Structure formats: structure tokens, C-alpha cells
Chain A
Amino acid sequence: MPVLTKVESPRDTKDAIYSETILAGKGFMQKLLPGQVIRIEDIEGNQSVDALFYDADNPDDHYSTVLTIAEQENMYLKTGSTLLAESGKELVTIVADTVGCHDAWFSFCSAQSNTVRYGHDKIDMHNCRDTFLLLMEENQAGYTKRDLPPSVNFFCIVPFTQDGAIEFVDGISAPGSYVELKAKCNTMVLLSNCSQLNNPCNDYNPTPIKVYIWES
């Protein structure tokens, strides 16, 4: 288990310019301006939130799991971590975090990956990729399936073992935990409030999250 680095935010939710509750199985797609801060709050705890980030001025340049972890030579996202795009461009920096550690690579579920992981009969279960695809189509900003690289999973971690396996650990996010990210450029944020029922990432009980945005 990695060391948890908890950092409280100085921001007051009363000053937020935007707030929205996102139910499990729903998502969020919105552009941040440079300096704006987004908070994602895990209202009831042990919820997983899949997140992708793009250079909104050049959406071809998406979040890169591997560039981000190779640059910091560490697989976990903590306060101070900067999430990079494939080009190396800085997209967002974590500026507060009351969980202390987040996953950078585990990514979102899809109907198809559910058939592989859990059985062919899982094809009809709601999943994060469907949430993303529908949201991208409704957003009409030209984003498609090609724009879905492996994502961040806020509020959970999936450690690698030294001998090259992965292990699943219990939820580390208490009710009311949050993470805040500051945009480094015009950043498109894509979130899915995960609907996975086949593994403990949501404690088998997907619950709502809340999103706040503050001006820079």
C-alpha cells in the first residue's frame, strides 16, 4: 500500500461558479479555462470515477497514462502530479486531494471488456465506455471512439506487484473525499461515474458524485 498524501483545499464550495451532481452511470464533459479548478467529490465513498483530459484546442492530443507515469517515474497520482498529453503538454495538475493517492492506468470498463473479464452474459450491463460514447456524440464537438485512450480512475488504486502481477485493494475513499485539478491550458474534461457491478471498485454499489468548478 503506497503512502497516502492528503492535502485539503482552501476553496469554499460557496464560491464555485458551477456545481452538479452526477448520478452513477452518467458522465460529464466540459471545457476548463487555464487556471480554473475542478473538484470531483465522492459523496458516499468508495466510488470510482473514470477521467480523461484533452488539449481542447487540439483534441487529438489526449491524456497519456504512460507519459504521465514515466515522467514522474511513479505509477500513482497525488497532489503535485501533472497529467500530460501524448505530446508532453501539461493538461491538469492535482492541487488538492483528501484521498491521498489515485490510479493512473486502470481505465474504464466497456461492454466488450466485461465479456472478457466476467462472462459473455455481461454484454448488456451499462458501462463507462457507453457513457463516454453517448456523451461525446451528444456534445457534438467531434470526439469519437478514437479519442478514448486508457483513463485515470479517481478514488481507487490498483497496485502492481514487484513480480509483475496486479492486486486489488479495498476502497481507500471515505465519504466526502475529493480531488481537485487545476487546468494548465484550455482543457476538455470527460468523466464517467462508473457503473461497474462486477468488481469491488465501487463497493458493488455505484453512488453519485459531485463536481464543482472555481474561477482561476
Chain B
Amino acid sequence: MTHVWSTILSPGGKWSGFIKRGKCIRFTALEEGANVSILFYNARDLTERYVMSDTLKSQFTSHLTKGHVLLSDNGRVLASFLEDSVGWHDPIAGCTTREKTDAKYGVTTYQIQRNEYFRSGRENLITELARNGLGARDLVPVVNLFSKITTDENGQLTFQKSHCPKGATVTLRTEMDLLVVLSNTPNPLDPKTEFPAVPVQMEVSSSPQVEENDICVNNRPENRRAFENTWAYYDLY
């Protein structure tokens, strides 16, 4: 893979940008216990966005890993999971609010802590959404890369500790021209009471052509139909 672009998402950091279709985005946890909350929007029509519920029910899954796709509200594939070293990414726990961040990790402010104050996922994402002409209205359930939440028979949610080792990687392939918005902030269900300080590397490179035997296209008939919807969209683009 030829790396054309790379950045480090610092602990508490945020990022947004436009990424063309046909790219690979590889995230690497530079320490153990990373969590990156991420959202996807169609760059050409920002009202089209990632939908957690359609993504899960179409693939009969409550977690995301290699072979899965992220669906938009218009039944298209925004991005797909091409490679994954941890086997489970969390689509159901959302991101932290300011109130929850203060309650869990202690109140911090820029005034006192300067740039070491603890950032919240919600504030990070809203800020980046607003920077791109969107806003709180466009905040929807995120994908939490590197986190694993399991459920028992009564629906009780449990955060699985030690799920993400140092050096864990996940690679997403963009299937549409995207606005990607993300926040390197803790999973709300992570029981650690110390604000996690895990830098994450993000690398973007060109993706090889999607082949006929592609794992994400062929994972389920639902995936193929979503890809067909996406290809049809670009036939008219």
C-alpha cells in the first residue's frame, strides 16, 4: 500500500475532511485501549449519511468487522471494512457528552488545564460538523472503532476490556466520495476513570480496484445489492 497521506489523531483530538471514493483509510492504535468515534456523509449530498440501524439489520449483525459495509440512509455503501485485526468495532454505545465527561473523569476547563482539558465526543463531532456546514442536527449514532460492547439475554451491555492491543489496525475502503468526521475520545461504556490517552495513526492511500471476488461485496446478498445501488448512483454522477 502506497501511503499518500498520514496524520496522528491525538488523545481527545478531532478531525474532518473529504475523502474520495476508492481510498483505503487505515487506523492504527498506537497504545492499547483506543476508541475513535466516526461518522460518514456523502460529500455531494451531506444529508445522506451513515445509518447504524440499516447497517446492522441488513447484515444481521450487532458488531462491525472485516467484510461488513456501512450503509447510508439511501441504501448505498459509504465505506467497507477491508481489513481488521481486532474482529469487533462498536456501533451501539455512541459518544461521550460534556456532562458525562466531567462526571466520569473530573471537571476540566481550558481556563485551568489549557489544552490538556478533557474533550467530549459530542462537542468534538458537533464542532467538526459545524465547520462543514452541518451541526448538532446531523449527529447520529457513531461507529466506535476498536471498542467491543457485548449484550446478554436481558439486554445488559458490557464493555470488553483488553479488546484493543497496542498496534491494532482497521482498514476502511471508501465506496463513495465522503465527508468523514471523527473524534478520538473515550467510549461512554469504558469503565476506566482515567481519561484515556491513546494516539491513533490515520493513513489514507489509494485502494486497488474492487474485484469480482471482493469480500465486502460478496459477504451477503444484501451487501451486493447495496453496492449495486452505489454503482448505479455513480453511473449517473
Chain A interface residues (CB < 8 Å from chain B): 1-3, 59-62, 64-67, 69-70, 73-76, 86-88, 105-107, 110, 112-117, 119-120, 129, 144-151, 158-162, 164-166
A113-B75 contact, Cβ under 8 Å, with A65-B52, A86-B122, A120-B225: yes
**Secondary structure at chain A's binding surface: helix, strand, loop or mixed?**
loop
In the complex, what distance in Å separates the CA atom of A147 from the CA atom of B139? 10
Report yes or no: A146 in contact with B52, Cβ–Cβ below 8 A.
Answer: no
Q: Give the chain A neighbours of B75 by CB distance below 8 A.
A: 110, 112-116
Report yes or no: A150 in contact with B141, Cβ–Cβ below 8 A.
Answer: yes
In the complex, what distance in Å separates the CA atom of A101 from the CA atom of B63? 22
Residue in B51, B97, B151 whose beta carbon sits within 8 Å of that of A150 in the complex: B51
Restricting to B36-61, which residues have a CB under 8 Å from any CB of A? 47, 51-54, 56-58, 60-61
Chain B interface residues (CB < 8 Å from chain A): 47, 51-54, 56-58, 60-63, 71, 73-76, 88, 92-95, 97, 99-100, 122, 135-142, 150-157, 188-189, 222, 225-226, 228-229
A165-B189 contact, Cβ under 8 Å, with A64-B94, A112-B229: no
Report yes or no: B47 in contact with A144, Cβ–Cβ below 8 A.
Answer: yes
Give, as a whole number of angstroms, the nearest-CB distance from A3 to chain B. 6
Report yes or no: A65 in contact with B88, Cβ–Cβ below 8 A.
Answer: no
Report yes or no: A107 in contact with B54, Cβ–Cβ below 8 A.
Answer: yes
Q: Which residue of A lies closest to B158 (CB)?
A: A73
Report yes or no: A60 in contact with B61, Cβ–Cβ below 8 A.
Answer: no
Give, as a whole number of angstroms, the nearest-CB distance from B97 to chain A. 5
Q: Give the chain B neighbours of A73 by CB distance below 8 A.
A: 156-157, 189
In the complex, what distance in Å separates the CA atom of A107 from the CA atom of B47? 18
Report yes or no: B225 in contact with A116, Cβ–Cβ below 8 A.
Answer: yes
Report yes or no: A67 in contact with B60, Cβ–Cβ below 8 A.
Answer: no
A161-B62 contact, Cβ under 8 Å, with A146-B47, A146-B138: yes
Give, as a whole number of angstroms, the nearest-CB distance from B82 to chain A. 19
Residue in A61, A70, A116, A166 whose beta carbon sits within 8 Å of that of B189 in the complex: A70
Residue in A3, A67, A117 whose beta carbon sits within 8 Å of that of B94 in the complex: A67
A165-B60 contact, Cβ under 8 Å, with A64-B94, A65-B53: yes
In the complex, what distance in Å separates the CA atom of A110 from the CA atom of B47? 15
In the complex, what distance in Å separates the CA atom of A145 from the CA atom of B123? 23
Residue in A75, A87, A147, A151 whose beta carbon sits within 8 Å of that of B151 in the complex: A75
Given A64-B94, A87-B122, A120-B228: 18 more A-B contacts, CB < 8 Å: A1-B153, A62-B137, A69-B92, A70-B94, A73-B189, A105-B53, A112-B76, A113-B51, A114-B75, A119-B225, A146-B47, A149-B140, A159-B151, A159-B155, A162-B150, A165-B60, A165-B61, A166-B56
Q: Which residue of B lies closest to A168 (CB)?
A: B60
Report yes or no: B47 in contact with A74, Cβ–Cβ below 8 A.
Answer: no
Give, as a whole number of angstroms, the nearest-CB distance from A198 to chain B. 12
Report yes or no: B151 in contact with A116, Cβ–Cβ below 8 A.
Answer: no
In the complex, what distance in Å separates the CA atom of A169 from the CA atom of B53? 17
Q: Give the chain A neighbours of B154 by CB distance below 8 A.
A: 2-3, 74, 76
A67-B97 contact, Cβ under 8 Å, with A110-B75, A166-B62: yes
In the complex, what distance in Å separates the CA atom of A17 from the CA atom of B189? 41
In the complex, what distance in Å separates the CA atom of A108 from the CA atom of B95? 22
In the complex, what distance in Å separates the CA atom of A120 from the CA atom of B222? 10
In the complex, what distance in Å separates the CA atom of A216 from the CA atom of B146? 45
A105-B92 contact, Cβ under 8 Å, with A61-B136, A150-B51, A159-B155: yes
Q: Which residue of B lies closest to A105 (CB)?
A: B53
A106-B53 contact, Cβ under 8 Å, with A86-B139, A144-B47: yes
In the complex, what distance in Å separates the CA atom of A2 from the CA atom of B155? 7
Q: Give the chain A neighbours of B88 by CB distance below 8 A.
A: 164
